[in-house]
Every structure is written in structure tokens, then in C-alpha cells.
């Protein structure tokens, strides 16, 4: 259960990826140990927004293509799906256009997988949840027998790192994600929520797209960075410990790992993990750029009492800054802001910092690089 496979893969050339993904899954027991004949299987990719694969924001389509082939060989029925972020209504038109641009339509055609078009939203009781006792989710999560989690390795301005556990946030339908951000505006609480969602959805297998990741201002405004790996494992918490370490993040820097450790879901220690294939020290990426502001903040965010965190937040948290000459006045940031802190004046966005919860959804969803993250002077002083 704790085994994690690391297999090198230099690029997304389909034959190379087929070999690498099969080798990785074989090392942890083979596809037949996860998928039984007749299983309906959701291939939960990361389709955060409508972007071409080369922008490295979304899971590369070669991954679901290869995994769908493997599921079919095992006698299963693969369905590719996710719910993109932002204010978009979760509807067939949005899904069609996201699937097309992100390469998922072609992946489905080539492999024989279905694409999910069922946009029904369901409330499901989840009594074991720490933060949520009812989870609002997309229909296919309930209709399938198994979920294969296919995240992309990235940095994240709010959660520091986006990997296996964070990818399951995509089962929350479209605009409801903003509501969850609003209710859990504290990073530590949000990390606990992400763990609830991962515990609820219980992916049986995670195969991470770590061929080309995103560094810096992830999950949408960072830069591509080669990692050159396929990472596979049954346990998403353990996989995140390994993947984060490969891009130079310690367990105590990643809120979801800190919280999964607290909840007894993993030790956060590499020495407790059986690693197959490559050795971590041979594949660690030097100089993978982290969202440093957020890392420095998470130490107090996690360990201080909530009232002190809130007090410090108002002086130390970075804020969104709009670059008006790059802004196309599309309005996505205004519609996506959970507490409605953004308003457009003469077509250009402005933020009310008294309402801002520093979730960076606006930064995440602006497709025009028109929102930067500004550090307050006090934080700049601290980080000198």
C-alpha cells in the first residue's frame, strides 16, 4: 500500500509514455490488482481551465489515453472527467470546449474511453468528514466503481503544492469550489477540507503527470519545468510526500501533508515509504521554483492559534494586483471571486481588500497574466 513507483519519462511521446506508465503500474502490482472486469472507472484528470496541454496547467492527455487503454485491457470501462474551476456553469457546452482544448477529446477517441457529460450535482452525506459532513460532488464520482487519480505536479499559491490530494478537489462542481474557498479561507482549514474530499472519493490508484510540471506561480501562472517522471502509487498521501520531496518541498512545508500526518494518514517521512524504480535522490529536481511567500507563511498558518493567524494575515498576506494594460476586461476574476471582493470599473478590475480572503482564485483563473501577487512591505521586510 505504501509502495511508490518512480519511472523516468523524458517527454509525452505516446509510445515512451505507454512504456513508462505500464512499468510504473506493474511495479505496484499491475493494473489488474486495481481494476476488475466490468468496473466503471473515472479517470480524474486535472482540467482546471480551458488551456492547451503545452501550457502545463492541465494533465497531459497522453496520460488518460494510456490509462484508458490499460483499463480496457483489464476489462473495465474508462470515463475521462473533471469539473473545471471558476464561475463557469458546469454544463455540457463548457465541458465540450474544455475537453477539446485540453486534448481530452482526442485522448478519448484514440483510446476508446468515454468523456463525462453528466453535469448533475449531488449532495452526499459524509459523516467521517472533519470539515464537511456533506460533500457536494459531480455525478460520475457516485456512478463509477473506481477512480484513478491523474494529477499534474505543480506549485500552488494557496496550498504551496498541487498533487494527488489537491487534484480530488476537482470533484466539487464548478462554481461550488468558490463557496468552499469562502467557507475555508484559512490554509490549514482548507487543507483539512481537501483531505476530507480525498477520503470521500477514495481513488484506488494515482498516476501523476510529472513529466513536465509547473513551477513558481502555480497552478496557472507558473512556468513549465521538466521533472521527467511518471509517479504511481495506491496511496495519494504517501505519493504526495514523495512527489513534493522530488521538487524540493519538505513535508512540513506542504499544508495537506502536515494535515494528513496529523490525521494519521501518513508519516510524512520518506524513510517509511518503499520506493520502486528510480531512487529519489537521483531524480530530485534542482532549483524547482517554489511559491516562497506562501511557504514562509504556512509555518505560522499551521501552528499558531486561529485568532493570531487572522491578525498576522492582515499585515503579512500577499494580495492580488491587477495589471490593467494586460487585462482584456473578460470579467472572469470578478465572477470567480468567492467573497465578491472584485468589481470592474470601466472594464478594469479593482479589489476591496477588506473583503479579500487571499484565496488567489482570481490569479488562478485569469487567462491573460493580468493578475500578479504583491507582497505587503512588512512581508518583504521579513523575507529579506
Sites of contact with ligand SF4 (CB under 6 A): 320, 322, 327-333, 337-339, 341-342, 349, 351, 356-362, 366, 368, 370-371
CA–CA gap between residue 382 and residue 251 (Å, rounded) = 23
CA–CA gap between residue 314 and residue 46 (Å, rounded) = 32
Output 171 or 356, the one with its CB closest to ligand SF4.
356
The dihedral region occupied by 85, where left means phi > 0, alpha psi between -120 and 50, and beta the remainder, is beta
Residue 327 Cβ vs ligand SF4, minimum distance, rounded to whole Å:
3
Output 306 or 326, the one with its CB closest to ligand SF4.
326
Residue 36 Cβ vs ligand SF4, minimum distance, rounded to whole Å:
43
Residue 343 Cβ vs ligand SF4, minimum distance, rounded to whole Å:
10
Output 258 or 370, the one with its CB closest to ligand SF4.
370
Q: Is there a contact between 362 and 333 (Cβ–Cβ < 8 Å)? A: yes
Output 146 or 358, the one with its CB closest to ligand SF4.
358
CA dihedral 164, 169, 171, 174 (to 10 degrees): -140
Residue 365 Cβ vs ligand SF4, minimum distance, rounded to whole Å:
6
Output 202 or 310, the one with its CB closest to ligand SF4.
310
Output 261 or 358, the one with its CB closest to ligand SF4.
358
Q: What are 342's three cell numbers?
A: 472584485
Q: Which residues pair with 226 in a beta bridge?
A: 212
Q: What are 47's three cell numbers?
A: 482540467
Angle (CA) 256 219 113, round 5°: 90
Sign of CA dihedral 295, 342, 363, 170: positive
Residue 356 Cβ vs ligand SF4, minimum distance, rounded to whole Å:
3
Output 103 or 255, the one with its CB closest to ligand SF4.
255
Write the DSSP assignment of 114-149 as a string of letters.
Answer: EE-----EEEEE-TT-SS-SEEEEETHHHH-SEEEE
Q: What are 192's three cell numbers?
A: 483539512
Output 207 or 371, the one with its CB closest to ligand SF4.
371
Residue 178 Cβ vs ligand SF4, minimum distance, rounded to whole Å:
8
CA–CA gap between residue 201 and residue 31 (Å, rounded) = 19
Residue 331 Cβ vs ligand SF4, minimum distance, rounded to whole Å:
5
Residue 191 Cβ vs ligand SF4, minimum distance, rounded to whole Å:
17
Distance in angstroms between the alpha carbons of the first and the last residue of the chain:
43
Q: Could you tell me where the DSSP H helices lie in the chain?
A: 14-27, 62-73, 92-102, 104-111, 140-143, 164-167, 176-183, 187-201, 236-246, 255-262, 280-283, 292-303, 306-316, 332-336, 361-365, 377-383
Amino acid at each position: 500500500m505504501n509502495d511508490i513507483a518512480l519511472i523516468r519519462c523524458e517527454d509525452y511521446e505516446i509510445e515512451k509514455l505507454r512504456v513508462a506508465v505500464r512499468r510504473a503500474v506493474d511495479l505496484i502490482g499491475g493494473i489488474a490488482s486495481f481494476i476488475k472486469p466490468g468496473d466503471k472507472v473515472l479517470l480524474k484528470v486535472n482540467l482546471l481551465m480551458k488551456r492547451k496541454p503545452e501550457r502545463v496547467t492541465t494533465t497531459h492527455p497522453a496520460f488518460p489515453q494510456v490509462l484508458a487503454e490499460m483499463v480496457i485491457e483489464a476489462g473495465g470501462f474508462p470515463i475521462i472527467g473533471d469539473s473545471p474551476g471558476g464561475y463557469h456553469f458546469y454544463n455540457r457546452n463548457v465541458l465540450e470546449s474544455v475537453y477539446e482544448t485540453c486534448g481530452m477529446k482526442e485522448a478519448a477517441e484514440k483510446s476508446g474511453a468515454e468523456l463525462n457529460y453528466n453535469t448533475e450535482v449531488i449532495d452526499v452525506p459524509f459523516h467521517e468528514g472533519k470539515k464537511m459532513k456533506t460533500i457536494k460532488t459531480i455525478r460520475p464520482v457516485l456512478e463509477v466503481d473506481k477512480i484513478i487519480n491523474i494529477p499534474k505536479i505543480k506549485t500552488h499559491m494557496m496550498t504551496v503544492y498541487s498533487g494527488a490530494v489537491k487534484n480530488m478537489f476537482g470533484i466539487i462542481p464548478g462554481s461550488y469550489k468558490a463557496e468552499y474557498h469562502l467557507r475555508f479561507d484559512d490554509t490549514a482549514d482548507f487543507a483539512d477540507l481537501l483531505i476530507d474530499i480525498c477520503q470521500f472519493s477514495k481513488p484506488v490508484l494515482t498516476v501523476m503527470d510529472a513529466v513536465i510540471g509547473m513551477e513558481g506561480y502555480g497552478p496557472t501562472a507558473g512556468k513549465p519545468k521538466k521533472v521527467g517522471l511518471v509517479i504511481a502509487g495506491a496511496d495519494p498521501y504517501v505519493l504526495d510526500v514523495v512527489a513534493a520531496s522530488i521538487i524540493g518541498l519538505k513535508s512540513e512545508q506542504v499544508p495537506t501533508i502536515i494535515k494528513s500526518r496529523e490525521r494519521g494518514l501518513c508519516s510524512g517521512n520518506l524513510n517509511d515509504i518503499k520506493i520502486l524504480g528510480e531512487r529519489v535522490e537521483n531524480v530530485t529536481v534542482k532549483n524547482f521554483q517554489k511559491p516562497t511567500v506562501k511557504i514562509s507563511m504556512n509555518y505560522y498558518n499551521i501552528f499558531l492559534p486561529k485568532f493570531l493567524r487572522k491578525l498576522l494575515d492582515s499585515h503579512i498576506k500577499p494580495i492580488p494586483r491587477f495589471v490593467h494594460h494586460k487585462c482584456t476586461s473578460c470579467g472572469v476574476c470578478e465572477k470567480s471571486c468567492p467573497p465578491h471582493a472584485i468589481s470592474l470599473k470601466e472594464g478594469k478590475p479593482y479589489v476591496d481588500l477588506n473583503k479579500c480572503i487571499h484565496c488567489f482564485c482570481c490569479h488562478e483563473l485569469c487567462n491573460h497574466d493580468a493578475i500578479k501577487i504583491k507582497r505587503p512591505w512588512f512581508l518583504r521586510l521579513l523575507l529579506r
